[in-house]
């Protein structure tokens, strides 16, 4: 059985996701920034707006 590969959540990126984390985005109906769960590839996890999920 082939394992499921998750893809990067960033727009127009087809790379395999390697890291789970959050970005802050505006809500559709307001100005408030809310954390959104995303999956990122090795390239996008280096972006300043990406916050990697850490285990406690």
Count of domains observed in the chain: 1
The boundaries of the domain holding residue 23 are: 1-56
The reported pLDDT for the residue numbered 6 is 92
Q: What is the average per-residue pLDDT within 32-50? A: 94
pLDDT score of 54 more than 70? yes
What confidence score (pLDDT) does residue 4 get?
A: 60
pLDDT of residue 28: 81
For residues 34-48, average pLDDT = 95
pLDDT tens track for 2-33: 446 899 999 999 999 999 999 999 988 878 89
6 vs 39: CA distance, rounded Å: 8
């Amino acid at each position: 059985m082939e394992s499921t590969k998750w893809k990067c959540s960033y727009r127009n990126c087809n790379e395999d996701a390697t890291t789970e984390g959050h970005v802050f985005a505006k809500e559709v109906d307001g100005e408030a920034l809310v954390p959104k769960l995303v999956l990122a590839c090795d390239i996008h996890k280096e972006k300043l707006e990406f916050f990697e999920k850490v285990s406690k």
